[in-house]
Structure 1
C-alpha cells in the first residue's frame, strides 16, 4: 500500500509542496493537534487549524467516530489507513461531508480529506423523498414494495402493510442478508413465482401471480401479487416493484 506520508514528509511541512495537492492534507500529532495543513484545507474550510485539535471542527455527533478513527490508525501498523465519513462544521455555519483517511507513521497522523458534500446532499434529498413516498405507501392496504430481481426477492422498499399481511415488520425484509420474502413462499410455489416473473420481464409486461405464503404465526395465506419490471435505458432489468394482497379462499 502506498503510504499517505509519501511526498508528505516533515521536510516540506511548512513549504509549498503540500499546496500542490488538490485535496486537504493535514499532519496531526498523537494528541490530534494539527501541526500542518495545506492550501486545499483552507479553500475547503476557510479556516486556520494549525495548533488546534482537529476534532474541534468535527460535528459533535461524529466526534466519537473521529476518536475511533484515530484509535484504528494508532493501533494499526505504520502506514495502515483507517477510513470513515465525517461531518465538519464550516465557519459559515453549514455542514461539509468528507471521506477521511488517516494513517500513522511514527509519532504523527497523516490525514487526507475528500469533499463529498454534494454527493451526500443528493443522497439526503433522495432519502427525504423516499420517506415521503413511504408515508404515502404506508397508508395503503397490502404489501407494496420495490426490490431486486433475485431468487431471494430482496426488498429495498417495503410498506407498513406488510406486517398485517405477513406478521413481519418492514425492517425484517429490507436489505437483510438473513431474511427474505422468498422464505415465506411455500416451496411448491417457488419456481412458479420465479419463472412467472422472469417471463414477464423478458416480454416487458406486468405480471400477476397467485401463490401461498407462510406467515410469522405459521398460518398459510393465499396472496395475489401484481408487479412490473424496472428497466434501464439499455433495457437492463434493474429491479421490480408491485403490490401483494391477501386473497380470501374462493374469491376470484
Structure 2
C-alpha cells in the first residue's frame, strides 16, 4: 500500500510539474508574442499586459494595469466597446467580437485599432493591431466613390449596370433615372417595382434585344434607339449605348451603359 501511495505521489508531482511548465510556457508566449494582448476581468479591467500592448499603445505597464480598457479608446467609440463586453458576458466561452475603434495615445494621437475581443473563463482576452493605414485607405476610397457617384448622378442621362436577361434586371441605376423615366433608382434595381423591359415600348422590345445580343456576341459596344414609356405614361425616344462585362472564359456577366433622351443628345 505504501508503495502504491508513493507511486501516486510521484505521479501527482510529475503532473503538477508538467502543468507548471505548460503555464510557464503560456505566460512566456503571452509576454513575447508579436501581438498587442491584454487579459481583462469580467468588468473589462486590465489584469495583464504584454510588451506588444505597451509598444502599440505607448503606455508603460504601470499606467495600464488594473485600469478599464475602455479608457484607452476614443470617448465616441467606448459605447461600442461596452456593448461588445455586455454581449459576450452572456455568450459561451470562446465567443468573440471584431471591432474597429480609435485608440488614444499618450501623445494625443488618435490611431485606428483592429480590436478582437474573446470571451474566456476568467473574463476576456483582447488583441489589438494598428489599422490606421488601412482605415485611411478605406476612407479615401469611399470619398472617391462618393465623388464619382455625385458626378454620375449629375449627368443628364441614366447610367446603369444590368443582367443580360429579358427583363434587363438592373443591378445599378444612377439618379438620372428619375429625369429620364420618372422612376427612382430603387424602384428599378433588382426589378423591385418595375422591370426595365416593361418600360420599353412593346413594338421596340425585340429590336432592342437583338441589337444588344449582336453586340455581346461580337464583344463590341452596341447602340440602339427605342421608345420608352415613362412613369406618367409619356412616350420618350431614347438613345442607349452599352457594352458587355465578360468573364475570362467569355461568359457575359452583365451589361453597363447609358441611356439618354434623344432630344438632349442632339
TM-score (ref. length: structure 2): 0.66
Match of residue 141, structure 1, among 137, 151, 156: 156
Please name the residue that 2:18 is paired with. none
Q: 2:239 aligns with which of 199, 224, 227?
A: 224
1:17-39: per-residue Cα shift (whole Å, max 9, x none)? Answer: 21332332221112111222222
Provide the residue aligned with 2:82 in structure 1. Answer: 67
| Residues 184 and 214, structure 1, Cα contact 8 Å, conserved in 2 | no
| Counterpart for residue 33 of structure 2 | 21
Aligned CA-pair RMSD: 4.0
- 1:134-213 to structure 2, matched below 5 A, reads 134-145=149-160, 147=161, 152-155=169-172, 158-170=173-185, 172=186, 183-186=195-198, 200-201=215-216, 203-210=218-225
Q: Could you tell me how far apart the structure 2 residues matched to 1:193 and 1:43 are?
A: 64
Gaps of 5+ in 2: 1-22
Counterpart-to-counterpart distance in 1, 2:106 and 2:250: 47
Using the alignment, how far apart are the partners of 2:210 and 2:49 within structure 1? 59
Three-state SS of the structure 1 residue aligned to 2:34 is coil
Go from structure 1 to structure 2 and tell me whether the alpha carbon gap of 1:82 and 1:192 turns closer, same or farther (over 3 Å shift): farther
1:50 aligns with 2:50: no
Tell me the CA shift for residue 125 of structure 1: 0.9
1:68, CA displacement in angstroms?
A: 2.1
Question: Which stretch of structure 1 is more off in the superposition, 208-217 or 104-113?
Answer: 208-217
Residues of 1 paired with 2:216 and 2:67: CA distance? 59
Kindly name which structure, 1 or 2, has the bigger radius of gyration based on alpha carbons: 2
Q: Which structure shows the higher helix fraction?
A: 2
Distance 2:110 2:206 in 1: 50
- Matched length: 234
Matched, 1:101 2:116: yes
SS where residue 60 of structure 1 aligns? coil
State the match for 1:4 in structure 2: none
CA distance in 2, matches of 1:84, 1:125: 20
Q: In the alignment, is the contact (CA less than 8 A) between 1:185 and 1:214 conserved in 2?
A: no
Compute the displacement of 1:95 (Å): 3.7
Pair 58,179 (structure 1): closer, same or farther in 2 beyond 3 Å: farther
Q: Compute the TM-score of the two structures, normalised by the length of structure 1.
A: 0.69
1:108: how far off? 0.7
SS at match of 2:98: strand
